[in-house]
Chain A
């Protein structure tokens, strides 16, 4: 469910960021009198070269700063995603806007430079924290749940910020043109000094979470156990939230407060598709975040009219989609492949067992073992299980190329020597399992997660030994006879009904 939620969030963010870039383009086109030089033009090869080779000092620092920001956000985001606090970052970043506007107003009123970055970020931090505090207050004092509290605080603070920005625009000293950069992100307005602040803060976040990696992992996995061992979980939680605050605040300028959450969520969610280890997940998320940051900043530098925030999020989204499909651990394709591989194994085992059982019903067991011409007609096979003709043909063809069976025309199937041995092994397992279900059926189903029918296909060697021990069956005594075999007409019905119920 966690990932479903993350996926929905990612989709919303991507749609929003694409809407932003479209809007940016169209508003550019509407600029009066400067249609040609304001429209997005394909950059010259000279421009490409300058940006991609980072020749210009300023763009080099900006790209590097954004990269570090992306890396830090990916790393920290892995923790918040696993702690299910991802949306807290979103509320926090939206809540920074009134602080930015107020800081500008106050600083200008007191005669400072209203656009100085440290002052604005200070205002952003204060109001961001006030927003988080408001969420906690609403949650703890009322019976409202956290999602309601998040929604209220996020929108109210953002509305207050937008109104204050309106006030700023009315001010005579105003000239607040740069402030919108905080909403949508604009690396173009970033100077080398700003980028250095971002870089240092990002490095701090990474180093801090590396030092506390083990403790934060424990906090995210099992808070109660951490507390019982004496870890100050409230402090750790606050430390984690502080990292989110730092990443969000320094990310405001590059990514913008609307989209900075994307850097915290998308790389981490994408990384989850590649690994089952928390450490690798954090590292992959940091890498994806860093590359996305770099790509976004570079694209924004080349196409100077595209907002960098949207570019960064779209770069993240590209990686997310790739991971969703190609992720080596949980990607859609690998899961589909695993599923179909299991299906194929099951089909093959069904075929081999059906062949053996048909032979068994018509011959003496010792006789089949010696016989090299162990053939069964396909129509007989069709009658045994409810498989389609096509599926049966497919499986016969596959088993033939694996050297388990041979065919004579379309009509008859032979078991080869290897195929026969395998069929004996499978039938043996199947009968043991059936016996087990019959004699111990009251406890068996609770022991296994998969459907009873699939179990015989995943039995491991030690389980088979355990079954033999339990059923007091001697492995060298040959195959146990089928409980619903033709030789025992009495058991036939009862045995079938029990196995059916288990299936």
Chain B
């Protein structure tokens, strides 16, 4: 079981690479890797039941940037994150994470799913959820050890809820749930973070905590791609923006791209040719 599993087979090449990134590692890798682009998407098309969700999406993300993915409901923002992580089949396109496939560099990516995606009545506590971020490293069939719990506690301290470590997850407020998920991604010590609406319906203190963490990430040269809904805070929290509405409307530095005209293109005039074609295809599928 251990040998055939992707996690098991990944761990062998993964660990040396991970070490290479620390100062003093072997020179060859340290020249090659820091120059690699954290995320590069070419020509990505994803369709659910022949209904296109993403069409010809392509963009590169420079290292050390905080990227907001912005677009109306149903623009395919979550699908984009899922496609990056190979969680959803793609009709076409190539995705490179640090210059290689996601499979190979999975250990360098941390994922913060939408809060609503899980049952918060599940019988586990906060620390349990955070250690889940380490399950891949711990390995199959092996138990969670003390050092893993310590790492999880550290991540909880970063998000400011270390005192809630042994609280039942059913007793968390929305903001605390979000911080728990954030800690679960932080504990992996990844280089690229994918976050699905971390700011959705959280309290002001949690919002500040998340922003603080984003700043720390940036200071350490890490990259975050964040699905975001609050247009007003985009210029304040992020330095790069991807405007998405099935297609890429525009992408680039916030000060250049985040203009009223581009937003109008993203949110306004929804009934474009693209929508009409989609609608026609959906009608045809229904009649089949």
Tell whether A275 is near chain B: CB-to-CB under 8 Å.
Answer: yes
Which of A221, A228, A446 contacts B111, CB < 8 Å? A228
In the complex, which range does the number of interface residues on chain A fall in? Answer: 20 to 34
Contact of A231 (CB < 8 Å), options: B111, B121, B136, B201: B136
Q: CA A42 – CA B3 in complex, angstroms?
A: 58
B124 to chain A: closest residue by CB: A278
Q: Does A339 contact B (CB under 8 A)?
A: no
Residues of A near B87 (CB, < 8 A) are 224, 227-228
Q: Which residue of A lies closest to B131 (CB)?
A: A214
Q: How far is the CA of A278 from the CA of B144 in the complex (A)?
A: 14
Decide if B141 touches A212 in the complex (CB within 8 Å): yes
Check if B106 is an interface residue, CB within 8 A of chain A: yes
Q: Interface size (B, Cβ < 8 Å)?
A: 41
In the complex, A272→B123 CA distance in Å?
A: 8
Is A178 in the interface zone, CB < 8 Å from B? no
| 8 Å CB interface, A458-497 against B | none
Which residues from A are CB-within-8-Å of B128? 278
Cβ of B140: which chain A residues have Cβ within 8 Å of it? Answer: 212, 215
Q: A222-B113, A224-B87 are in contact. Are A230 and B123 (CB under 8 A)?
A: no
* Cβ B132 vs Cβ A230 within 8 A: no
A232-B123 CB under 8 A given contacts A212-B141, A225-B111 = no
Interface contact A218-B135, CB-CB below 8 Å: yes
Q: DSSP class of A's interface residues: helix, strand, loop or mixed? A: helix
Which residues 122-169 in B have Cβ within 8 Å of A in the complex? 122-125, 128-129, 132-133, 135-136, 138, 140-144, 168
How many contacts between A and B, using CB within 8 angstroms?
Answer: 93
- Interface membership of A56, Cβ < 8 A: no
B257: Cβ under 8 A from any A Cβ: no
Q: A224-B87, A276-B168 are in contact. Are A2 and B121 (CB under 8 A)?
A: yes
What residues of A have a CB within 8 angstroms of the CB of B26 in the complex?
none
Question: Once bound together, how far apart are the Cα atoms of A225 and B82, in whole Å?
Answer: 10
Residue of B at shortest CB range from A275? Answer: B123
**Cβ contact within 8 Å between B85 and A228:** yes
A-contact 0/1 string along B187-228, CB 8 Å cutoff = 000000000000001011100000000000000000000000
- Whether B203 and A447, one on each chain, are in contact in the complex, defined by CB atoms closer than 8 angstroms, is yes
* Most chain A CB neighbours (cut-off 10 Å) among B6, B10, B123, B138: B123
Partner of B135 from A211, A215, A220 at Cβ < 8 Å: A215
Instruction: Assess the A278–B123 pair: CB atoms within 8 A.
Output: yes
Tell me the complex Cα distance, A232–B140, Å: 12
Name the distance in Å between B232's Cβ and chain A's nearest Cβ. 15
Please tell me if B272 contacts chain A, counting CB pairs below 8 Å. no
Query: Which chain A residue has the least Cβ–Cβ distance from B112?
Result: A225
**Are the C-beta atoms of A276 and B106 separated by less than 8 Å?**
no
Interface string of A338-360 (1 = CB under 8 A from B): 00000000000000000000000
Q: How far is the CB of B177 from chain A (nearest CB, A)?
A: 11
Q: What is the bound-complex CA distance between A214 and B143, given in angstroms?
A: 8
Min CB–CB distance A278 → chain B (angstroms): 5
B204 touches A443 (CB 8 A): yes
* New contact pairs (12) apart from A212-B140, A443-B203, CB-CB < 8 Å: A214-B138, A214-B142, A217-B124, A222-B118, A226-B135, A227-B85, A228-B113, A231-B135, A232-B6, A276-B125, A277-B125, A443-B204
Chain B interface (Cβ < 8 Å from any Cβ of A): 5-7, 10, 82, 85, 87, 103, 106, 109, 111, 113, 117-119, 121-125, 128-129, 132-133, 135-136, 138, 140-144, 168, 170, 173, 175, 184, 201, 203-205
Counting from the closest, the 7 A-B pairs by CB-CB distance are A228-B111, A447-B203, A229-B136, A230-B6, A211-B141, A276-B168, A228-B85
